[in-house]
Amino acid sequence: MSEGIEKSTAKTMMLEVVTPYHHFFEGKVEAVVLSALDGELGILPGHAPVVVALTPGITHVTVNGKHRYAVMMEGFAEIGPFMTVVVCNAAEWPENIDVERAQAAYERAINRYRDETQNPQERIYARNSMRRAKMRLQLVADHGTEEQMKKLRDMHTV
């Protein structure tokens, strides 16, 4: 492990994000902030090995000193000193998010969740999809393009 300690002083680590539809991200990063079950978790190169459960949320990646944000859905991450592998159900950059669709999904989910006549399992699903849609909207609101933000504002003023 002595070799490991030497190497772990390196400034970057590999980050790999895998989803069922595509290889979302692969490359060297300086830091990554994941949304773990109990809050955000920052990872720097040389982190001790840990497996983390992820909940839908905004992930923050630092590449070459630049910050990038993406939304990632539930999954898990394997973290090692040189490499972090994130396996999640879906991941998107803000510019790829369809604002109208996310908003529609959010409204649909919130109505289903509030409907007391639904069975409990159904309401849990609704709560989860509500959270997913909310995170997408949140990401657009914080880091989306001008056009997306305008769309979002228009929708909220209507």
Partner 1 sequence: MEQLFDIKKRIRSVDQIGQLTRAMQLVSAAKMRKSKAQLAQVLPFFSLCAESMLEIQRSNRDIDNPYFRLRKKKLGETWKIGYFILTGDQGLAGAYNHNVIRISEDHIRGKILDNVNKGLKTEYTLYVFGNVGREKLARDGYFVDKEFSFPISEPTYYEARAVADTIRHKYMAGEFDLVYLVYTKMESSINMKPIITRVVPVNTDALVAILPNGTNDAGMALEKGAALTYHPNPEDVFSFLIDTYLNAMLYGALVEAYASEQTARMMAMDNATQSADDMLKDLTLKSNQARQSKITTELIELVNGANQVQ
- Within a 10 A sphere around the Cβ of 8, how many other Cβ atoms? 17
Q: Is 22 in the site for partner 1 (CB under 8 A)?
A: yes
- The CA distance from 148 to 69, in Å, is 15
Query: Smallest distance from the beta carbon of 66 to partner 1, in angstroms?
Result: 23
Q: Is 50 in the site for partner 1 (CB under 8 A)?
A: yes
What radius of gyration, in Å, describes the C-alpha atoms of the chain? 18
Query: Smallest distance from the beta carbon of 84 to partner 1, in angstroms?
Result: 6
Give me the phi and psi of 23, to 5 degrees please: -80, 100
Query: Smallest distance from the beta carbon of 124 to partner 1, in angstroms?
Result: 10
Q: State the DSSP string of 79-136.
A: E-SSEEEEEES-EE-GGG--HHHHHHHHHHHHHHHH-TTS-HHHHHHHHHHHHHHHHH
Query: Smallest distance from the beta carbon of 81 to partner 1, in angstroms?
Result: 8
Would you say 19 or 103 has its CB closer to partner 1? 19
Would you say 38 or 116 has its CB closer to partner 1? 38
Would you say 84 or 148 has its CB closer to partner 1? 84
Cα of 85 vs its chain's centroid, Å = 13
Binding mask 69-108 for partner 1 (x = CB under 8 A): -----xxx-xxx-xxxx-xxxx------------------
- The CA distance from 66 to 78, in Å, is 23
> Which residue among 33, 36, 63, 149 contacts partner 1 (CB under 8 A)?
36
Question: Residues in the site for partner 1, rule: CB under 8 A?
Answer: 4, 16, 18-23, 36-38, 41, 48-54, 74-76, 78-80, 82-85, 87-90, 121
